[in-house]
Amino acid sequence: MTDQFGREINYARISVTDRCNLRCRYCMPECGVKKISHAEILSLEEILRVAEIFSRLGIRKIRLTGGEPLLRKNLPTLVRALKNLSGIEQVTLTTNGVLLKNFSAELIAAGLDGINLSLDTLDEKIFSELTRRKLFGNVLEGLQTVLGARLSLKINCVPLRGVNDGEILRLASWTEKNFIKVRFIELMPIGCAWSSGLRGIPTAEIFSTLEKNFGALVPVREKNSLQGPAKYFRPKNFVGQIGFIDALEHKFCGECNRIRLTAEGFLKTCLSFDAGLDVKKILRAGDGDEEIAEKIRDAIYRKPREHFFSGTTNFQMYQVGG
């Protein structure tokens, strides 16, 4: 379906939990998050029902996220069920990778199309400082289990001044011999990122560092209406791609194709506003699928034109899944 500004909305990010086994300084407070009772979180059946309604409204891609989605029980079962929905062409996962080795085989067997692995550093010490957990080895083991698997693999890195600057070339150079995408995402001033004192590094600066080291970055043009906001490039003779998500300097709101569903069942139609719909409430009030679809259609239609990142949302990144 299209919204009031004529944008085709075909991509839903579904958060399955807001708990996490890491405490990344720019995302989550050290003490973790307020515990939400199991009953307040959408059940897998409810998620599936909403996803089926989404698919009728034109959603073609679903990304499961969190918190850390692999903490949610029976995630491979959900992946398999989502893959069986008619109209859903892609089901992908964003994960920190800590539990990946335990589930990668099941997820691949369930038909998962892609994994975005968040990895800001290849240095164990920086990893522990940034995530406040000593779990770097688990992430590397998890990564090994999906390198070379038949799914799309993207590594996401948030460059932070004075923290992982030195890691940018190391991460990007993985794309020389591996058919993966390494993406650099600008730090967004949401939630803990405000108070952490951390500062992001602008995309233009990273771009120029990479060009100085690898030579010209050649744009890769992809004609895929399900593609997100990343712009991809490839240095000469590299097999993988390097992507940039330039959320601050160059807004991509004009091309935004996405909606987000929080683990508590709130449909959020823009990252930086609280606009949307309490889907859990209408699901549990006993509304029929047609009524729910109408309300969701109306909420999507009213999706805000653009984000501002100026304290306009009360949601945290671990609630909306990135």
Footprint of ligand SAM (CB under 6 A): 20, 26-27, 65-66, 68, 94-96, 118, 156, 158, 185, 187-188, 190, 193, 317-318, 321-322
Residue 193 interaction partner, one of ligand SF4, ligand SAM, none, beta carbon < 5-8 Å per kind:
ligand SAM
Classify residue 265 by burial, with Cβ atoms within 10 Å: 0-12, 13-18, 19+. buried
* Binding stretches for ligand SF4 (CB under 6 A): 20, 22-24, 27-28, 66-68, 96, 118, 318
Closest to ligand SAM by CB, 50 or 263 = 263
For residue 215, the minimal CB distance to ligand SAM (Å) is 28
Closest to ligand SAM by CB, 12 or 193 = 193
- CA distances to 32, 183, 186 from 243, rounded to whole Å, are 30, 4, 11
User: Closest-CB residue for ligand SAM?
Assistant: 322
Question: What is the crossing angle of helices 289-301 and 44-56, to 10°?
Answer: 70
For residue 214, the minimal CB distance to ligand SF4 (Å) is 27
How do strand 241-245 and strand 181-185 relate by DSSP bridges? Answer: parallel
Residue 10 interaction partner, one of ligand SAM, ligand SF4, none, beta carbon < 5-8 Å per kind:
none
Q: Alpha helix locations (H) across the chain? A: 44-56, 75-83, 100-109, 124-131, 136-146, 168-173, 192-195, 203-214, 279-284, 289-301, 317-320
Closest to ligand SF4 by CB, 136 or 318 = 318
Closest to ligand SF4 by CB, 268 or 295 = 268
Closest to ligand SAM by CB, 26 or 103 = 26
Number of continuous H segments (helices) and E segments (strands) in the chain: 11, 12
Closest to ligand SAM by CB, 156 or 257 = 156
For residue 221, the minimal CB distance to ligand SF4 (Å) is 30
Residue 65 interaction partner, one of ligand SF4, ligand SAM, none, beta carbon < 5-8 Å per kind:
ligand SAM
Residues in the chain: 322
The single-letter code of the amino acid at 36 is I
| Token duo for residue 309 | 């990142």
d(CA 89, CA 287): 27
